[in-house]
Structure 1
Amino acid sequence: MAECAAVLFDLDGTLLDTPTASAPLLRRVVARSGRPMPPANRVRACADLPMEPAFARLLGLPPGHGLVRLSVHRFQELFRERVLPDAARLVFPGITELLRGLRESGHCLAVITGRTRSGAEELLSAAGLRDAVDLVVGSWMTPRGKPYADPALLAARTFGIAAQDCVVVGDAVEDALMASAAGMRAAGVTFGVDQPGQLVAAGVTWLVGSAAELRGVLEPGARAR
Protein backbone atom coordinates (compact mmCIF):
# COMPACT_ATOMS: atom_id res chain seq x y z
CA MET A 1 0.00 0.00 0.00
CA ALA A 2 1.05 3.58 -0.59
CA GLU A 3 2.37 5.88 2.06
CA CYS A 4 2.43 9.29 0.42
CA ALA A 5 2.21 12.96 1.30
CA ALA A 6 0.88 14.22 -2.05
CA VAL A 7 -1.36 12.81 -4.76
CA LEU A 8 -1.10 14.17 -8.30
CA PHE A 9 -4.24 13.46 -10.32
CA ASP A 10 -4.76 13.51 -14.05
CA LEU A 11 -8.02 15.28 -14.96
CA ASP A 12 -9.78 13.89 -18.04
CA GLY A 13 -10.56 10.20 -17.74
CA THR A 14 -9.41 10.11 -14.11
CA LEU A 15 -11.53 12.59 -12.17
CA LEU A 16 -14.18 13.14 -14.84
CA ASP A 17 -15.51 10.99 -17.67
CA THR A 18 -14.95 13.71 -20.24
CA PRO A 19 -13.62 11.23 -22.86
CA THR A 20 -17.07 9.65 -23.18
CA ALA A 21 -18.73 13.06 -23.44
CA SER A 22 -16.11 14.42 -25.84
CA ALA A 23 -15.92 11.54 -28.32
CA PRO A 24 -19.18 12.37 -30.16
CA LEU A 25 -18.07 16.00 -30.44
CA LEU A 26 -14.71 14.95 -31.85
CA ARG A 27 -16.46 12.81 -34.47
CA ARG A 28 -18.78 15.70 -35.35
CA VAL A 29 -15.85 18.08 -35.89
CA VAL A 30 -13.88 15.54 -37.92
CA ALA A 31 -16.93 14.90 -40.11
CA ARG A 32 -17.30 18.63 -40.71
CA SER A 33 -13.64 18.86 -41.72
CA GLY A 34 -14.15 16.52 -44.67
CA ARG A 35 -11.22 14.35 -43.60
CA PRO A 36 -11.59 10.54 -43.25
CA MET A 37 -13.18 9.39 -40.00
CA PRO A 38 -10.77 7.38 -37.80
CA PRO A 39 -11.94 4.24 -35.94
CA ALA A 40 -14.02 4.82 -32.81
CA ASN A 41 -11.31 3.58 -30.43
CA ARG A 42 -8.82 6.02 -31.90
CA VAL A 43 -11.28 8.90 -31.51
CA ARG A 44 -11.87 8.03 -27.85
CA ALA A 45 -8.12 7.78 -27.19
CA CYS A 46 -7.66 11.26 -28.62
CA ALA A 47 -10.31 12.61 -26.24
CA ASP A 48 -7.69 12.32 -23.48
CA LEU A 49 -5.07 14.40 -25.32
CA PRO A 50 -4.49 18.16 -25.58
CA MET A 51 -6.71 19.34 -28.39
CA GLU A 52 -4.18 20.47 -30.98
CA PRO A 53 -2.19 17.20 -30.93
CA ALA A 54 -5.50 15.32 -30.81
CA PHE A 55 -6.87 16.94 -33.96
CA ALA A 56 -3.52 16.72 -35.72
CA ARG A 57 -3.67 12.96 -35.14
CA LEU A 58 -7.36 12.62 -36.03
CA LEU A 59 -7.09 14.67 -39.21
CA GLY A 60 -3.70 13.34 -40.28
CA LEU A 61 -2.30 16.86 -40.50
CA PRO A 62 0.63 18.59 -38.78
CA PRO A 63 0.06 20.61 -35.60
CA GLY A 64 -0.44 24.25 -36.49
CA HIS A 65 -2.22 23.48 -39.77
CA GLY A 66 -5.12 25.83 -40.37
CA LEU A 67 -7.71 23.05 -40.42
CA VAL A 68 -6.35 21.66 -37.16
CA ARG A 69 -6.68 25.05 -35.47
CA LEU A 70 -10.15 25.59 -36.88
CA SER A 71 -11.20 22.14 -35.65
CA VAL A 72 -9.87 22.89 -32.16
CA HIS A 73 -11.91 26.10 -32.10
CA ARG A 74 -15.05 24.29 -33.26
CA PHE A 75 -14.57 21.60 -30.65
CA GLN A 76 -14.02 24.11 -27.84
CA GLU A 77 -17.26 25.87 -28.73
CA LEU A 78 -19.17 22.58 -28.70
CA PHE A 79 -17.53 21.51 -25.43
CA ARG A 80 -18.55 24.71 -23.66
CA GLU A 81 -22.06 24.42 -25.04
CA ARG A 82 -22.68 20.68 -24.57
CA VAL A 83 -20.33 19.37 -21.88
CA LEU A 84 -19.53 22.09 -19.35
CA PRO A 85 -23.15 22.56 -18.21
CA ASP A 86 -23.23 18.87 -17.22
CA ALA A 87 -19.67 18.65 -15.91
CA ALA A 88 -20.76 17.79 -12.37
CA ARG A 89 -22.50 14.68 -13.70
CA LEU A 90 -19.27 13.53 -15.34
CA VAL A 91 -17.36 13.23 -12.06
CA PHE A 92 -16.66 9.53 -11.57
CA PRO A 93 -18.53 7.91 -8.65
CA GLY A 94 -16.76 8.38 -5.33
CA ILE A 95 -14.19 10.90 -6.57
CA THR A 96 -15.58 13.87 -4.65
CA GLU A 97 -15.58 11.85 -1.43
CA LEU A 98 -12.09 10.53 -2.17
CA LEU A 99 -10.67 14.02 -2.57
CA ARG A 100 -12.39 15.20 0.59
CA GLY A 101 -11.05 12.25 2.57
CA LEU A 102 -7.50 12.72 1.33
CA ARG A 103 -7.64 16.42 2.19
CA GLU A 104 -8.93 15.67 5.68
CA SER A 105 -6.08 13.23 6.28
CA GLY A 106 -3.51 15.87 5.38
CA HIS A 107 -2.55 14.96 1.82
CA CYS A 108 -1.59 17.68 -0.66
CA LEU A 109 -3.62 17.33 -3.86
CA ALA A 110 -2.76 18.52 -7.37
CA VAL A 111 -4.26 18.14 -10.81
CA ILE A 112 -1.81 17.73 -13.69
CA THR A 113 -3.40 18.26 -17.09
CA GLY A 114 -2.65 18.87 -20.72
CA ARG A 115 -5.49 21.38 -20.93
CA THR A 116 -4.92 25.11 -21.20
CA ARG A 117 -5.04 27.09 -17.97
CA SER A 118 -8.46 28.53 -18.70
CA GLY A 119 -9.76 25.17 -19.90
CA ALA A 120 -8.60 23.35 -16.77
CA GLU A 121 -9.93 25.97 -14.37
CA GLU A 122 -13.21 26.19 -16.26
CA LEU A 123 -13.78 22.43 -16.21
CA LEU A 124 -12.79 21.93 -12.57
CA SER A 125 -15.03 24.80 -11.47
CA ALA A 126 -17.97 23.55 -13.52
CA ALA A 127 -17.53 20.09 -11.99
CA GLY A 128 -17.39 21.49 -8.46
CA LEU A 129 -13.85 20.19 -7.91
CA ARG A 130 -11.67 23.29 -8.06
CA ASP A 131 -11.76 23.90 -4.31
CA ALA A 132 -11.09 20.20 -3.65
CA VAL A 133 -7.48 20.43 -4.87
CA ASP A 134 -4.60 22.65 -3.83
CA LEU A 135 -2.82 23.10 -7.14
CA VAL A 136 -3.42 22.86 -10.89
CA VAL A 137 -0.36 22.25 -13.07
CA GLY A 138 -0.51 22.43 -16.85
CA SER A 139 1.56 22.82 -19.98
CA TRP A 140 1.62 26.61 -19.55
CA MET A 141 3.81 26.17 -16.45
CA THR A 142 6.60 23.85 -17.64
CA PRO A 143 8.88 23.58 -20.69
CA ARG A 144 7.55 20.07 -21.36
CA GLY A 145 4.31 18.37 -20.47
CA LYS A 146 3.44 14.71 -20.02
CA PRO A 147 5.03 12.18 -20.46
CA TYR A 148 8.05 14.16 -19.24
CA ALA A 149 8.69 14.58 -15.53
CA ASP A 150 8.47 18.38 -15.53
CA PRO A 151 4.83 18.86 -14.37
CA ALA A 152 5.06 16.24 -11.61
CA LEU A 153 8.35 17.61 -10.30
CA LEU A 154 6.95 21.15 -10.33
CA ALA A 155 4.01 20.00 -8.21
CA ALA A 156 6.35 18.25 -5.76
CA ARG A 157 8.57 21.33 -5.47
CA THR A 158 5.58 23.60 -4.95
CA PHE A 159 4.38 21.40 -2.10
CA GLY A 160 7.91 21.04 -0.69
CA ILE A 161 7.55 17.26 -0.84
CA ALA A 162 10.12 14.76 -2.10
CA ALA A 163 9.27 13.01 -5.37
CA GLN A 164 9.28 9.58 -3.75
CA ASP A 165 6.55 10.75 -1.37
CA CYS A 166 4.17 11.58 -4.26
CA VAL A 167 1.82 9.24 -6.11
CA VAL A 168 0.53 9.99 -9.62
CA VAL A 169 -3.01 8.84 -10.45
CA GLY A 170 -4.03 8.64 -14.08
CA ASP A 171 -5.81 6.68 -16.78
CA ALA A 172 -3.22 7.02 -19.53
CA VAL A 173 0.19 5.67 -20.42
CA GLU A 174 1.61 9.19 -20.41
CA ASP A 175 0.65 9.58 -16.74
CA ALA A 176 2.58 6.43 -15.83
CA LEU A 177 5.58 7.50 -17.91
CA MET A 178 5.60 10.93 -16.25
CA ALA A 179 5.56 9.31 -12.82
CA SER A 180 8.42 6.98 -13.70
CA ALA A 181 10.49 9.82 -15.13
CA ALA A 182 9.91 11.83 -11.94
CA GLY A 183 10.82 8.98 -9.59
CA MET A 184 7.23 8.63 -8.37
CA ARG A 185 4.88 5.68 -8.06
CA ALA A 186 1.72 5.57 -10.15
CA ALA A 187 -1.80 4.21 -9.74
CA GLY A 188 -3.56 3.48 -13.01
CA VAL A 189 -7.34 3.76 -13.08
CA THR A 190 -9.04 1.31 -15.41
CA PHE A 191 -12.21 3.37 -15.98
CA GLY A 192 -10.53 5.90 -18.30
CA VAL A 193 -9.04 5.64 -21.77
CA ASP A 194 -6.06 3.29 -21.83
CA GLN A 195 -6.31 -0.46 -21.24
CA PRO A 196 -4.99 -2.17 -18.08
CA GLY A 197 -2.30 -3.99 -20.06
CA GLN A 198 -1.05 -0.72 -21.47
CA LEU A 199 -0.88 0.84 -18.00
CA VAL A 200 1.00 -2.15 -16.59
CA ALA A 201 3.47 -2.07 -19.48
CA ALA A 202 4.01 1.64 -18.81
CA GLY A 203 5.00 0.87 -15.22
CA VAL A 204 2.07 1.59 -12.92
CA THR A 205 2.50 0.24 -9.40
CA TRP A 206 -1.23 -0.37 -8.85
CA LEU A 207 -4.30 -0.90 -11.02
CA VAL A 208 -7.61 0.27 -9.53
CA GLY A 209 -11.13 0.00 -10.86
CA SER A 210 -12.96 2.48 -8.63
CA ALA A 211 -12.50 5.45 -6.32
CA ALA A 212 -13.00 3.12 -3.36
CA GLU A 213 -10.15 0.87 -4.52
CA LEU A 214 -8.00 3.93 -5.09
CA ARG A 215 -8.63 5.18 -1.57
CA GLY A 216 -7.65 1.76 -0.26
CA VAL A 217 -4.30 2.16 -2.01
CA LEU A 218 -3.65 5.78 -1.11
CA GLU A 219 -5.06 5.72 2.39
CA PRO A 220 -5.14 2.11 3.62
CA GLY A 221 -6.19 3.09 7.14
CA ALA A 222 -9.20 5.14 6.05
CA ARG A 223 -11.80 2.48 6.85
CA ALA A 224 -10.45 2.05 10.34
CA ARG A 225 -11.01 5.70 11.29
Structure 2
Amino acid sequence: MNCTFPRLVLFDLDGTLLDSAPDMLATVNVMRAERGAAPMTLDALRPHVSKGARAMLAAAFADMANEQREALVPVFLAQYELELAKHGSPFDGIERLLGAIEADGGRWGIVTNKPEYLAKQLLPMLGWQTRCAILIGGDTLPQRKPHPLPLLHAAQTLYVAVEDCVYVGDDERDIVAARSANMPSVVALWGYRLPDDEPAEWGGDVLVEAPQDLLDAAIWPRKLSESAQ
Protein backbone atom coordinates (compact mmCIF):
# COMPACT_ATOMS: atom_id res chain seq x y z
CA MET A 1 0.00 0.00 0.00
CA ASN A 2 1.38 3.39 -0.98
CA CYS A 3 0.70 5.86 1.82
CA THR A 4 1.15 9.58 1.68
CA PHE A 5 1.37 10.16 5.42
CA PRO A 6 3.15 8.47 8.32
CA ARG A 7 1.15 5.68 9.94
CA LEU A 8 0.78 7.77 13.10
CA VAL A 9 1.03 11.55 13.35
CA LEU A 10 1.18 12.93 16.89
CA PHE A 11 0.46 16.60 17.43
CA ASP A 12 0.97 19.13 20.15
CA LEU A 13 -2.32 20.87 20.90
CA ASP A 14 -2.02 24.59 21.73
CA GLY A 15 -0.20 26.44 18.97
CA THR A 16 -0.11 23.42 16.69
CA LEU A 17 -3.61 22.05 16.16
CA LEU A 18 -5.52 24.70 18.03
CA ASP A 19 -5.28 28.48 18.01
CA SER A 20 -6.22 28.70 21.68
CA ALA A 21 -4.64 32.11 22.30
CA PRO A 22 -8.04 33.90 22.16
CA ASP A 23 -9.36 31.58 24.90
CA MET A 24 -6.24 32.25 26.97
CA LEU A 25 -6.63 35.99 26.42
CA ALA A 26 -10.22 35.90 27.66
CA THR A 27 -8.99 34.00 30.72
CA VAL A 28 -6.23 36.42 31.72
CA ASN A 29 -8.39 39.45 31.01
CA VAL A 30 -11.09 38.23 33.40
CA MET A 31 -8.35 37.82 36.00
CA ARG A 32 -6.85 41.23 35.25
CA ALA A 33 -10.24 42.92 35.47
CA GLU A 34 -10.85 41.31 38.85
CA ARG A 35 -7.57 42.85 40.00
CA GLY A 36 -8.20 46.29 38.54
CA ALA A 37 -5.85 45.97 35.56
CA ALA A 38 -6.57 46.99 31.97
CA PRO A 39 -7.11 44.28 29.36
CA MET A 40 -4.07 42.64 27.79
CA THR A 41 -3.77 42.48 24.00
CA LEU A 42 -3.67 39.28 22.00
CA ASP A 43 -0.34 40.25 20.47
CA ALA A 44 1.18 40.61 23.94
CA LEU A 45 -0.05 37.23 25.21
CA ARG A 46 0.16 35.10 22.09
CA PRO A 47 3.94 34.39 22.15
CA HIS A 48 3.67 32.93 25.66
CA VAL A 49 0.78 30.50 25.11
CA SER A 50 2.81 27.39 24.24
CA LYS A 51 4.97 27.92 27.34
CA GLY A 52 2.07 27.12 29.67
CA ALA A 53 -0.06 28.71 32.38
CA ARG A 54 2.85 30.00 34.45
CA ALA A 55 4.43 31.75 31.46
CA MET A 56 1.12 33.37 30.57
CA LEU A 57 0.59 34.51 34.15
CA ALA A 58 4.11 35.96 34.17
CA ALA A 59 3.26 37.96 31.06
CA ALA A 60 -0.14 39.04 32.39
CA PHE A 61 1.08 39.93 35.88
CA ALA A 62 4.71 40.90 35.36
CA ASP A 63 4.84 43.05 38.49
CA MET A 64 3.54 40.31 40.76
CA ALA A 65 5.87 38.21 42.91
CA ASN A 66 6.47 34.63 41.79
CA GLU A 67 4.72 33.18 44.86
CA GLN A 68 1.64 35.27 44.18
CA ARG A 69 1.54 34.17 40.55
CA GLU A 70 1.98 30.54 41.56
CA ALA A 71 -1.09 30.85 43.75
CA LEU A 72 -3.02 32.05 40.69
CA VAL A 73 -2.37 28.90 38.63
CA PRO A 74 -5.53 27.09 39.91
CA VAL A 75 -7.51 30.29 39.36
CA PHE A 76 -6.21 30.52 35.80
CA LEU A 77 -7.11 26.88 35.06
CA ALA A 78 -10.60 27.24 36.52
CA GLN A 79 -11.31 30.37 34.46
CA TYR A 80 -9.79 28.84 31.33
CA GLU A 81 -12.11 25.85 31.72
CA LEU A 82 -15.02 28.30 31.35
CA GLU A 83 -13.49 29.77 28.18
CA LEU A 84 -12.65 26.49 26.41
CA ALA A 85 -13.24 26.71 22.65
CA LYS A 86 -15.41 29.83 23.02
CA HIS A 87 -13.00 32.13 21.23
CA GLY A 88 -10.30 29.98 19.59
CA SER A 89 -10.49 27.41 16.79
CA PRO A 90 -8.27 25.01 14.84
CA PHE A 91 -5.67 26.76 12.71
CA ASP A 92 -6.55 27.23 9.05
CA GLY A 93 -5.78 24.02 7.18
CA ILE A 94 -5.80 21.72 10.22
CA GLU A 95 -9.19 20.13 9.55
CA ARG A 96 -8.19 19.43 5.96
CA LEU A 97 -4.90 17.91 7.12
CA LEU A 98 -6.54 15.66 9.69
CA GLY A 99 -9.08 14.52 7.12
CA ALA A 100 -6.32 13.74 4.63
CA ILE A 101 -4.43 11.65 7.19
CA GLU A 102 -7.59 9.69 7.96
CA ALA A 103 -8.47 9.22 4.28
CA ASP A 104 -4.98 7.85 3.72
CA GLY A 105 -5.55 5.17 6.35
CA GLY A 106 -3.32 6.81 8.93
CA ARG A 107 -4.10 7.76 12.50
CA TRP A 108 -3.42 10.88 14.51
CA GLY A 109 -3.24 11.69 18.18
CA ILE A 110 -2.44 14.46 20.64
CA VAL A 111 0.46 14.71 23.09
CA THR A 112 0.17 17.95 25.05
CA ASN A 113 1.39 19.44 28.31
CA LYS A 114 -2.12 20.78 28.95
CA PRO A 115 -3.77 19.02 31.92
CA GLU A 116 -5.55 15.93 30.66
CA TYR A 117 -8.97 16.90 32.03
CA LEU A 118 -8.93 20.14 30.02
CA ALA A 119 -7.70 18.49 26.83
CA LYS A 120 -10.40 15.81 27.12
CA GLN A 121 -13.09 18.46 27.40
CA LEU A 122 -11.87 20.11 24.23
CA LEU A 123 -12.15 17.06 21.99
CA PRO A 124 -15.97 16.89 21.72
CA MET A 125 -16.12 20.68 21.39
CA LEU A 126 -13.93 20.34 18.29
CA GLY A 127 -15.62 17.18 16.99
CA TRP A 128 -12.44 15.17 17.51
CA GLN A 129 -13.48 12.77 20.26
CA THR A 130 -13.97 9.78 17.93
CA ARG A 131 -11.18 10.74 15.53
CA CYS A 132 -8.23 11.24 17.87
CA ALA A 133 -6.52 7.86 18.33
CA ILE A 134 -4.83 8.81 21.60
CA LEU A 135 -4.71 11.78 23.96
CA ILE A 136 -1.91 12.24 26.46
CA GLY A 137 -1.93 15.26 28.72
CA GLY A 138 0.78 16.85 30.79
CA ASP A 139 -0.30 14.93 33.89
CA THR A 140 -1.28 11.61 32.26
CA LEU A 141 2.13 10.05 32.91
CA PRO A 142 4.89 10.56 35.48
CA GLN A 143 6.82 12.65 32.93
CA ARG A 144 5.82 15.36 30.49
CA LYS A 145 7.53 17.00 27.52
CA PRO A 146 10.43 17.62 26.99
CA HIS A 147 10.79 14.09 28.39
CA PRO A 148 10.28 11.52 25.61
CA LEU A 149 7.98 9.25 27.69
CA PRO A 150 4.66 10.68 26.42
CA LEU A 151 5.67 10.18 22.78
CA LEU A 152 7.06 6.71 23.39
CA HIS A 153 3.95 5.74 25.34
CA ALA A 154 1.66 6.94 22.55
CA ALA A 155 3.50 4.91 19.91
CA GLN A 156 3.65 1.82 22.12
CA THR A 157 -0.03 2.03 23.07
CA LEU A 158 -1.06 2.18 19.42
CA TYR A 159 1.44 -0.54 18.39
CA VAL A 160 3.26 1.72 15.96
CA ALA A 161 7.04 1.71 15.66
CA VAL A 162 8.62 5.01 16.67
CA GLU A 163 10.18 5.42 13.24
CA ASP A 164 6.71 5.18 11.66
CA CYS A 165 5.45 8.14 13.71
CA VAL A 166 6.04 11.87 13.33
CA TYR A 167 5.56 14.47 16.05
CA VAL A 168 4.42 17.97 15.07
CA GLY A 169 4.88 20.82 17.55
CA ASP A 170 5.50 24.54 17.79
CA ASP A 171 7.67 24.69 20.92
CA GLU A 172 11.27 23.68 21.55
CA ARG A 173 10.09 21.22 24.21
CA ASP A 174 8.18 19.35 21.51
CA ILE A 175 11.23 18.91 19.35
CA VAL A 176 13.50 17.98 22.27
CA ALA A 177 10.99 15.28 23.26
CA ALA A 178 10.84 13.92 19.71
CA ARG A 179 14.61 13.86 19.36
CA SER A 180 14.97 12.05 22.69
CA ALA A 181 12.40 9.51 21.54
CA ASN A 182 14.20 9.10 18.19
CA MET A 183 10.93 10.11 16.52
CA PRO A 184 10.92 12.26 13.36
CA SER A 185 9.63 15.76 14.01
CA VAL A 186 8.06 18.73 12.28
CA VAL A 187 8.42 22.28 13.63
CA ALA A 188 5.09 24.07 13.26
CA LEU A 189 6.15 27.62 12.42
CA TRP A 190 2.53 28.79 12.42
CA GLY A 191 2.40 28.43 16.21
CA TYR A 192 3.42 30.56 19.17
CA ARG A 193 7.00 31.73 19.66
CA LEU A 194 8.84 34.31 21.71
CA PRO A 195 10.87 36.88 19.74
CA ASP A 196 14.18 35.28 20.73
CA ASP A 197 13.13 31.72 19.88
CA GLU A 198 15.24 30.18 17.10
CA PRO A 199 13.28 27.21 15.74
CA ALA A 200 15.97 26.44 13.17
CA GLU A 201 18.25 25.60 16.10
CA TRP A 202 15.88 23.17 17.81
CA GLY A 203 16.99 20.19 15.77
CA GLY A 204 13.67 19.40 14.11
CA ASP A 205 13.73 17.37 10.92
CA VAL A 206 11.48 19.73 8.96
CA LEU A 207 10.28 23.31 9.47
CA VAL A 208 6.85 23.99 8.01
CA GLU A 209 5.16 27.37 7.53
CA ALA A 210 1.49 26.31 7.38
CA PRO A 211 -0.65 23.19 8.02
CA GLN A 212 -1.65 22.92 4.37
CA ASP A 213 2.02 22.48 3.44
CA LEU A 214 1.85 19.07 5.12
CA LEU A 215 -0.58 17.87 2.46
CA ASP A 216 2.55 17.41 0.31
CA ALA A 217 3.88 13.89 0.87
CA ALA A 218 7.42 15.01 0.14
CA ILE A 219 7.44 17.32 3.19
CA TRP A 220 7.16 14.60 5.83
CA PRO A 221 10.38 13.37 7.46
CA ARG A 222 11.01 9.64 7.30
CA LYS A 223 13.48 7.39 9.08
CA LEU A 224 15.70 5.18 6.95
CA SER A 225 14.41 2.25 8.98
CA GLU A 226 10.81 3.00 7.98
CA SER A 227 8.83 -0.23 7.93
CA ALA A 228 7.26 -1.38 4.71
CA GLN A 229 3.62 -0.45 4.29
Q: Secondary structure at the match of 2:6?
A: coil
Question: 1:223 corresponds to which residue?
Answer: none
Cα deviation, residue 5, structure 1: 1.9
The one-letter code sitting in structure 2 at the alignment partner of 1:181 is S
Q: Give the match for residue 106 of structure 1.
A: 105
User: What are the superposed Cα offsets for residues 56-88 of structure 1, whole Å, 9 maximum, x if unpaired?
Assistant: 6865655xx46523x23333343343443345x
1:19 to 12, 18, 21: 21
Is 2:208 aligned against 1:202? no
**Which position in structure 2 is the counterpart of 1:48?**
50
Contact kept, 8 Å, 1:46 with 1:58, in 2: the verdict is no
Paired residue total: 212
- Structure 2 vs 1, CA of residues 82 and 40 (structure 1 numbering), >3 Å: closer, same or farther? closer
Contact preservation (8 Å) 1:23, 1:47:
no
Instruction: Tell me the equivalent position of 1:181.
Output: 180
Q: In structure 1, what is the Cα distance between the partners aligned to 2:194 and 2:208?
A: 12
Q: Please tell me the residue identity of whatever aligns with 1:98.
A: L
2: CA distance, partners of 1:134 / 1:208? 23
Counterpart AA for 1:72? V
Gaps of at least 5 residues in structure 2 are 222-229
Q: Distance in 2 between matches of 1:164 and 1:20?
A: 35
Cα offset, 1:55, TM superposition: 3.4
CA offset digits 1:7-41 (Å, max 9, x no partner): 11000111111024413533553575589x99987
| 75-84 or 25-34, larger mean C-alpha shift | 25-34
Q: Which residue of 1 aligns with 2:127?
A: 128
- 1:53-72 equivalences under 5 Å are 54-55=56-57, 61=65, 65=67, 67-69=69-71, 71-72=72-73
Whether contact under 8 Å (1:177, 1:202) holds in the other structure is yes
Q: Under a length normalisation based on structure 2, what TM-score does the superposition of the two structures give? A: 0.77
Alignment gaps of 5+ in structure 1: 220-225
Compute the TM-score of the two structures, normalised by the length of structure 1: 0.78
For the residues of structure 1 that align with 2:8 and 2:171, how far apart are their CA atoms? 19
Task: Determine the structure 2 residue equivalent to 1:5.
Answer: 7
Q: Which has the higher helix share?
A: 1
Aligned to 2:149: 150
| C-alpha distance in 1 between matches for 2:171 and 2:12 | 9
- Tell whether the 8 Å contact from 1:10 to 1:112 is kept in structure 2 after alignment: yes
Secondary structure of the equivalent of 1:47? helix
Q: Secondary structure at the match of 1:179?
A: helix
Query: Could you say what secondary structure the match of 1:114 adopts?
Result: coil
Report the AA paired with residue 26 of structure 1.
V
Residues 99 and 133, structure 1, Cα contact 8 Å, conserved in 2: no
User: Equivalents in 2 of 1:32, 1:23: separation in Å?
Assistant: 14
The CA distance in 2 between the partners of 1:98 and 1:39, in whole Å, is 30
1:29 and 2:31 matched: yes
Residue 153 of structure 1 deviates from its aligned partner by 0.6
Name the CA distance, whole Å, in 2 between partners of 1:86 and 1:145: 27
SS in structure 1 of the partner of residue 185 of structure 2: strand
Q: Distance in 1 between matches of 2:43 and 2:92?
A: 23
CA deviation after TM superposition for structure 1 residue 214, in Å? 1.7
User: Aligned partners of 1:136, 1:46: CA distance in 2, in Å?
Assistant: 23
With over 3 angstroms needed to count, the CA separation of the structure-2 counterparts of 1:138 and 1:82, relative to structure 1, is closer
What is the CA distance between 1:167 and its match in structure 2? 0.7
What secondary structure, in the 3-state scheme, does the structure 1 residue paired with 2:86 have? Answer: helix
